Structure 1
Amino acid sequence: MPELPEVETVRRGLTSLVVGKVVTYVHVHLPRIIRHPSVAEFQQRLVGRTFEGVDRRGKYLLFDVRPYELISHLRMEGQYRVVPKEESVAPHTHVVFGLSDGTELRYRDVRQFGTMDLLAEDEPRPTGLVTLGPEPFDPALTPHILHLRLHKRVAPIKSVLLDQSVLAGLGNIYVDEALFLSGIHPLTKASRVGERRCELLLAAIREVLTKAIDAGGSSIRSYVDGYGRHGGFQMQLHVYAREGEPCFVCGQPIEKIRLGGRGTHYCPNCQPRNGRRKSMRIVEDTHV
């Protein structure tokens, strides 16, 4: 599933590719992708509108087509591409937006879980968007605030960080990586992560996300950006998808467990259950 770095990379690419262009037609080949309004009204509202901007909130893409806002969630494998309209249409392309420069913005989704809502200012936003927690890069999010959001939660810290109402945009890959960098075992109760460790955790989250965005995201499965390019952060992963391989810090094999139905990767030496790290040091990206 695209997480914050992937969605942010897509947003940046689409900003360059569609902003300032007018929608000339809309073809919807899978009606259930459009949650609101009806497909006919979705098409009618959009034709003639200009893409004024592309924003992001958590894992949602927010297209400014004033007086409306197009809210898109990529879910598992949603992809946007901007291509010449003469290019053959790939299988599983469900929505096509004609653009005034002769290109098309195409939405492709093999799993068909993605959603689009085209809303006027007075229409209610999707519940998942309204209930999002703070953005990880929000300057108002301090270690103290993060601690307040965690200290009453008895669920494992991995599960709590995946809760989008706690922090927006984090998913399986980057939670595993941030917990590794901060030396926190994924099964540690969130309530046991004190304010000092929240300082380490927040710094790790921001470090991992920044590096992932700089690398264009992680192409673990099918992710590509608006230009069709794959990300490169998968080459910098310390624990995720490295089960059985040696830890870059201590050499111990990376372990994998199931937590809340998610594969969870960690180093048993650098992230001990008792919270006392045995040989953790600053991680240098010598493996890249």
Structure 2
Amino acid sequence: MPELPEVEVCRRGIEPHILNQIISDVIVRNANMRWPITPTITEACGEKIISVSRRAKYLLLETSKGTLMLHLGMSGTIRVIDKSTPVSKHDHFDLVLASGLVLRLNDPRRFGSVLWLTEDIQEHPLIKNLGPEPLLEDFSGDHLYDKSRKKTVAIKTFLMNNHVVVGVGNIYANEALFQAKIMPTVAAGKVSRKRFENLTAIIKTVLSEAINQGGTTLKDFTQVDGKPGYFAQKLQVYGRAGKACFVCQEKLKEIKQAGRATVYCPTCQKN
């Protein structure tokens, strides 16, 4: 599943091509996504896209009349292509622009979504109860410390709770906890304020570096087969179970937490 950095790179990639462009048509080839694409989406036709933003993993294309909210789900990709580009299998939705370009969503598993919303986006049920964005100032060590008090849930599971903070997915939770030297199984309520301050700074750095590395793929968003995928970064623990820790050479271990793979160093990471 694309994580927050991948979605942010997607936002930055499509923004120059669609911002201030007029929507001339919408083409729905398969409305049966995670939530059905409703006929009201045609209300977007004739509207100008006045902002391209992101909240958590949702892409928000705002017009004066409403907002298109897109989610890539487990396997979705978005490309900006010429409207004459032949349709491929799983190309379920096109946002056709007056410029002659098309924003095309391809999603083999159909866990993604395309919603047309005319209400206040911040009050939508999918948005209103989300935690802070990890790269903004309101995400802090104090915030995590206050939210974690008396919590017995493992710190890694706690970080991946979107009501606590959005976008710290499995890959980056693994990486941040390793760099912070925190055992992923320790109860969130047992982590000190000082360690949370350090962890918060590391999360911001890890996510920012991932976004910056993804910037080299921006040109791919205008190609027919432009699928940037995950970033070619050197992950320190994720996907390296059984290999030597880069810091101490101890063999990295893997466990399952909430159905997700957790890789950690038994020497470097402590309770």
When normalised by structure 1's length, the TM-score is 0.86
Give the CA deviation at 1:90: 2.1
- On the 8 A contact 1:80/1:225 being kept in 2, the answer is no
1:174 aligned partner: 172
2:221 aligned partner: 226
Runs of 4+ displaced beyond 2 Å: 32-36, 121-128, 224-227, 229-235
SS in 1 for 2:221: coil
How many residue pairs get matched?
267
- On the 8 A contact 2:77/2:227 being kept in 1, the answer is no
> For 1:47, which of 29, 45, 48 is the aligned residue?
45
Quick one: structure 1 residues 137 and 41, their matched pair in 2 at CA, closer, same or farther if it must change by over 3 Å?
A: same
CA distance in 1, matches of 2:113, 2:252: 36
- On the 8 A contact 1:55/1:61 being kept in 2, the answer is yes
1:250 aligned partner: 248
Extract unaligned runs of 5+ from structure 1: 276-288
Give the CA deviation at 1:245: 1.5
Give the CA deviation at 1:86: 1.9
What is the identity, as a one-letter code, of the residue corresponding to 1:202? Answer: T
Give the CA deviation at 1:218: 12
Quick one: structure 1 residues 55 and 172, their matched pair in 2 at CA, closer, same or farther if it must change by over 3 Å?
A: same
What is the identity, as a one-letter code, of the residue corresponding to 1:39? Answer: T
When normalised by structure 2's length, the TM-score is 0.92
CA distance in 2, matches of 1:187, 1:214: 30
CA distance in 2, matches of 1:210, 1:143: 17
- On the 8 A contact 1:52/1:64 being kept in 2, the answer is yes
Q: How does 1:11-160 map onto structure 2 within 5 Å? A: 11-33=11-33, 35=35, 39-43=38-42, 45-121=43-119, 125-160=123-158
Give the CA deviation at 1:208: 0.4
1:188-223 alpha-carbon deviations (Å, 9 max, x no partner): 10001110110111011011001000011899xxxx
Query: Structure 1 vs Structure 2: percent identity of aligned residues?
Result: 37
What is the identity, as a one-letter code, of the residue corresponding to 1:23? Answer: I
- On the 8 A contact 1:176/1:266 being kept in 2, the answer is yes
What is the identity, as a one-letter code, of the residue corresponding to 2:159? Answer: L
CA distance in 2, matches of 1:109, 1:123: 24
CA distance in 2, matches of 1:89, 1:270: 50
Quick one: structure 1 residues 170 and 52, their matched pair in 2 at CA, closer, same or farther if it must change by over 3 Å?
A: same
Quick one: structure 1 residues 117 and 232, their matched pair in 2 at CA, closer, same or farther if it must change by over 3 Å?
A: closer
CA distance in 2, matches of 1:233, 1:268: 26
- On the 8 A contact 1:133/1:167 being kept in 2, the answer is yes
What is the identity, as a one-letter code, of the residue corresponding to 1:248? Answer: F
What is the identity, as a one-letter code, of the residue corresponding to 1:3? Answer: E
Quick one: structure 1 residues 217 and 244, their matched pair in 2 at CA, closer, same or farther if it must change by over 3 Å?
A: farther
1:36-95 alpha-carbon deviations (Å, 9 max, x no partner): 7x632212x111111111101111111112220111121211111011122222211110
1:9 aligned partner: 9
1:160-187 alpha-carbon deviations (Å, 9 max, x no partner): 1111000011110000000001001110
- On the 8 A contact 1:176/1:264 being kept in 2, the answer is yes
210-219 or 247-256, larger mean C-alpha shift = 210-219
Give the CA deviation at 1:268: 1.2
- On the 8 A contact 2:130/2:165 being kept in 1, the answer is yes
What is the identity, as a one-letter code, of the residue corresponding to 2:235? Answer: L
What is the identity, as a one-letter code, of the residue corresponding to 1:16? Answer: P
- On the 8 A contact 1:78/1:107 being kept in 2, the answer is yes
- On the 8 A contact 2:67/2:121 being kept in 1, the answer is no
Quick one: structure 1 residues 129 and 155, their matched pair in 2 at CA, closer, same or farther if it must change by over 3 Å?
A: same
Quick one: structure 1 residues 234 and 259, their matched pair in 2 at CA, closer, same or farther if it must change by over 3 Å?
A: farther
- On the 8 A contact 1:218/1:233 being kept in 2, the answer is no
SS in 1 for 2:233: helix
CA distance in 1, matches of 2:93, 2:176: 35
Give the CA deviation at 1:226: 3.3
Quick one: structure 1 residues 267 and 175, their matched pair in 2 at CA, closer, same or farther if it must change by over 3 Å?
A: same
What is the identity, as a one-letter code, of the residue corresponding to 1:161? Answer: L
What is the identity, as a one-letter code, of the residue corresponding to 1:20? Answer: N
Q: Let me know the Cα RMSD of the aligned residues.
A: 2.2
CA distance in 1, matches of 2:90, 2:199: 39
